[in-house]
Amino acid sequence: MFKKMNTAIKMAGIAYEKNEVPIGAAIFKNNVLIAKAHNECVSRNNSLAHAEILAIQKAIKKLNSSYLDECEIYVTIEPCLMCMGAIINARISKLVYGAYESKTGFADSKVNIKNIYNCNNLQIYPGICEEQCARLMSDFFKLLRNK
C-alpha cells in the first residue's frame, strides 16, 4: 500500500509546485498503475478538476470502459462529496487515502459514507502515510497565509 501511496504523494508534490492544493491520486488495476493525476482547479480554472476526478477520467479512457471494477484509487487526502460520488459511480473497489479532511471529508470525517449509502463493494483504508500527506497540506496553506 505504501509504495502505491507514494505515487499519489508525488502527484500531490507536483500540485504543490504549481500552486495547486496539493492533492494527488493514483489508480491501479492488478497492481499496475493505469492513471495518476493532481489537482488542477487553478490552472484549468475549473472547480471540478480534483485529482480523483482527473485520475478516474484518465483510467476510464485507458481501459476503454465506463467502469473501473477491480481498480484501487490512492488519494493523499480524504475525498470530498463530489469525489466520493465519482469513486462510487465508477465502481472502484478500493479507496486508500492518507490524511483525514475534517472540513470536507466524505469517507469518514464529515460523513461516514458507509452509514448513508450502501457501497458494499468499496473497501476503504484511511490513514496510509497520513503524516506525510497532512504535512503537504499544512505546509501549502501556511505558505499561502505568509504571502
Q: pLDDT tens across 67-126, in order?
A: 999 999 999 999 999 999 999 999 999 999 999 998 888 888 777 776 666 666 889 999
pLDDT at 21: 96
Residues 2-45: tens digit of each pLDDT: 899 999 999 999 999 999 999 999 999 999 999 999 999 999 99
Alpha carbon 2 to chain centroid, angstroms? 15
Distance CA 108, CA 145 (A): 28
Residues designated as active site:
52
**C-alpha radius of gyration, the chain, whole number:** 14
pLDDT at 120: 65
